[in-house]
């Protein structure tokens, strides 16, 4: 089976957002060039979410979630305890994956 890796030219930003309930929410946003097909955006988000899941230590109980918006999207962590320490661990993981 042949596979092709496509350079999508996207940029990544890691930041600490906040849920609608006021809880910390570590996130990595992906920004793609205008006109990028939605399947490329969704595939990149699914791939990133899988990387985050695989890199998450077994003791963490956060939920990895992805959402897309046209030419951008984000993968974020719904923290189980919403503590500052858990948010710091989540941010460290996302920063490590961002490179």
1-7 long-range Cβ contacts below 8 angstroms, 24+ apart? 6/40
Cβ-contact 82, 30 below 8 angstroms: no
Domain boundaries of the chain, sorted by first residue: 11-98
Is CATH 3.30.200 correct for 11-98?
Answer: yes
CA-to-CA separations, 71 to 14, 32, 43, 48, in angstroms, rounded: 17, 5, 12, 15
> pLDDT tier at 3 (50, 70, 90 boundaries)?
very low
pLDDT one-digit tens code per residue, 6-23: 456 789 999 999 999 999
Say what the pLDDT of residue 7 is. Answer: 56
Cβ-contact 66, 73 below 8 angstroms: yes
pTM to 2 decimal places? 0.87
Cβ-contact 56, 45 below 8 angstroms: no
> pLDDT tier at 39 (50, 70, 90 boundaries)?
very high
């Amino acid at each position: 089976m042949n596979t092709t890796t496509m350079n999508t030219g996207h940029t990544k930003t890691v930041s600490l957002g906040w849920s609608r309930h006021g809880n910390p929410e570590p996130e990595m946003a992906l920004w793609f060039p205008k006109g990028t097909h939605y399947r490329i955006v969704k595939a990149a988000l699914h791939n990133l979410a899988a990387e985050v899941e695989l890199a998450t230590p077994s003791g963490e109980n956060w939920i990895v979630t992805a959402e897309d918006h046209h030419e951008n999207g984000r993968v974020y962590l719904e923290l189980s305890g919403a503590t500052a320490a858990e948010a710091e661990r989540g941010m460290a993981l996302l920063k490590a994956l961002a490179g």
